[in-house]
Amino acid sequence: MPEISDRLKKVSVSASVAMTQKARDLAAQGIDVVVLSTGEPDFPTPQHAIDAAYQAALNGDTRYPPTDGTPELRRAIRDKFKRDNQLDYDVSQILTAGGAKQIIFNAMMATINPGDEVVIPGPSWISYADIVRFAGGIPVPVNCQQAHEFIPQPEDIEAAITDKTKWVLLNFPGNPTGSVATKEELQAIGKVLLKYPDLWIMTDDIYEHLIYDGREFFTLAQAEPRLYDRTLTVNGVSKAYSMTGWRLGFCGGPKPLITAMSNVNTQNSGGVCTLTQAAAVAVLNGPQDLLRERAEIYCQRRDYVLERLNAIPGLHCHTPGGAFYLYINISEFIGRTCASGKKITSDADFVMALIEEQFVVTVQGAAYGMSPYFRISYATSTERLKTGCDRIEAFCQGFLS
């Protein structure tokens, strides 16, 4: 039988996807599963987005779209960057794709040669490293400590940069930690990156509007304008507007890079669905009040789960400033035995035992590059979060030694 490519052998199946599928399999057996593994808003897509998509369909807007995005959408994205981030992009510097993940994929495929390195502060989203590997590059992790609220330290980023470094990738608010960098922290990182004019910089801002406790969001090109010409600012409508299934990511960046990424896009997909683009125009140009309203609800959920879990002996979690995740330290459980008699030697053991004993689905910290932790998403109802916390508490109390 013919073999698959060596390229794909280097890429693993996303752990969060695998755990969520496990939850579906258990639910199909009639088991009451609490799914805390999925980074997906539980709010509905705004009605005006749905109406715009429906109207576009009625109007016959159902043919091949422009690869880079419709003129209306690119103008809406341009205006969003100006309104929210004080970044001025020409429409020719704007690109859309089927989700922020595809934007990142296209950027790596457009720029990476075999052996190029990408510096990725971690713990980090699972797909960053695999996308780099897929493109033939080498991910270079930079461990960020909980004592620093998982914010990368400038000296650690600089220590990871070599003559093979092609990109430095930043993500705030971060997945899986919810870390949020201040303007001053970004400027300190920017001061280092200014020393290396041959590096591209990517900022994944997909959780931009999910930010709490009076914090103010800044993106790197805004905090350090001298890096504007080398920074790709990535965003999308999935998390903020509850449009994960619509698949629309976008970016602003240097025109030569955008042109190269567009070329990749013409070969791997083409333009985003026209109805999705119409819906995205509606939410980007429409009322923005819902963003703050929903962020306040997420913050209430964060506070509830944080209080519940930090009250459980052996669990320790910092207070995240954004996104909708908690990254929980379980070092006190390593080497102990849970109620089923299984010895816990890793965070992977911990999350599997939690599923088997209490039917709560989370994701092991190893998947994000830092152990021993596990990640939960609180993007679900307070009722389900309460049930999940009750079961996690029962699980932790059941340890034998």
Cβ neighbours of residue 16 closer than 8 Å, sequence gap 6 or more: 37, 38, 39, 126, 363, 367
Give, as one character, the DSSP assignment of residue 152.
P
Please report the DSSP string for 345-360 in residue order: -SHHHHHHHHHHHH-E
Is residue 392 predicted with pLDDT exceeding 80? Answer: yes
Q: Which one, of 120, 22, 101, 15, lies nearest residue 375 by Cα?
A: 15
d(CA 111, CA 95): 16
Burial class (CB in 10 A: 0-12, 13-18, 19+), 158: middle
* Residue (of 374, 372, 369) closest to 388 by Cα position: 374
Q: Per-residue pLDDT for 5 more than 90?
A: no
> What digits encode the pLDDT tens for the residues 57-110?
999 999 999 999 999 999 999 999 999 999 999 999 999 999 999 999 999 999
Question: Model's pTM, two decimal places?
Answer: 0.95
Contacts of 36 (CB under 8 A, 6+ apart): 360, 361, 362, 376, 377, 378, 380, 385, 388
For residue range 233-260, what is the model confidence (pLDDT) as tens digits?
Answer: 999 999 999 999 999 999 999 999 999 9
- Write down all domains in the chain, each with its CATH number in brackets: 6-44+290-397 (3.90.1150.10), 47-285 (3.40.640.10)
